[in-house]
Amino acid sequence: MTLITLVRHGQTDWNLARRIQGSTDIPLNETGRGDALAAAALLRSETHHVMYASPLIRAHETARIIASELGLADPMITHGMREREFGEGEGLLVQEYLERFTDWHGAPSGAETLDTVRDRALTALETISRESRRRSAPAAESVIVVTHGGVIRALLNHASGGTLPREGDVLRNGSAYRFELAPGLLRLLEPVSI
């Protein structure tokens, strides 16, 4: 069993403007760096052994800040936890996106489906868990993975059997979600963000 804490990256200027980022590599703003520090302060009450991050700069910088605050080694990169590719939807304001594609399940040209995002994220988490066990870590290895709102939404939906997140739920920048990962199982431990 591996304990996984998923953390949404800190705020970027595009988050602030409500612009679709997807795979566009947008850096944190000053508020985002504060989000990372706040997440680290909340995560400090638990023991964590290792950190991973999406390769996108907003997630990787968030992870580096958290790792530094918690005294962990630099985060390792996991490409499977990168944000959903929105294709021609990237760069649009949320309102423009919804007007053009109706809802978040719409598939702009070049976009990944939510099922694709879920599947690649689950594969990435299973790889992280296997790597943790190979390192002869404690029996209940605790891993922090800094990722993106779309990835966390897909995994919350999967682990909750489609009940979370609810329509209109906002996954705040810097929020965290705890899961238990075992072969063939992803179980949500704390349905409310930290």
Active site residue 46: no
Could you report the per-residue pLDDT of 168-179, keeping only the tens digit for each?
899 999 999 999
Could you report the per-residue pLDDT of 64-96, keeping only the tens digit for each?
999 999 999 999 999 999 999 999 999 999 999
Domains of the chain: 2-190 (3.40.50.1240)
Burial of 38 by CB count in 10 Å (0-12 exposed, 13-18 middle, 19+ buried)?
A: middle
- Among residues 9, 48, 148, 158, the one annotated as catalytic is 9
- Among residues 83, 85, 112, 141, the one annotated as catalytic is 83
Active site residue 83: yes
188: which 2 tokens?
């949500």
Could you report the per-residue pLDDT of 84-143, keeping only the tens digit for each?
999 999 999 999 998 888 777 666 888 999 999 999 999 999 999 988 777 655 555 899
Report how many helices (DSSP H) and strands (DSSP E) the chain contains, helices first.
Answer: 6, 6
SS3 161: coil
Q: Exposure string (b/e) for 159-181, b if CB count within 10 Å is 16 or more?
A: beeeebbeeeeebbbbbbbbbeb
Count of CA atoms in the C-beta half-sphere (13 A) of 94: 6
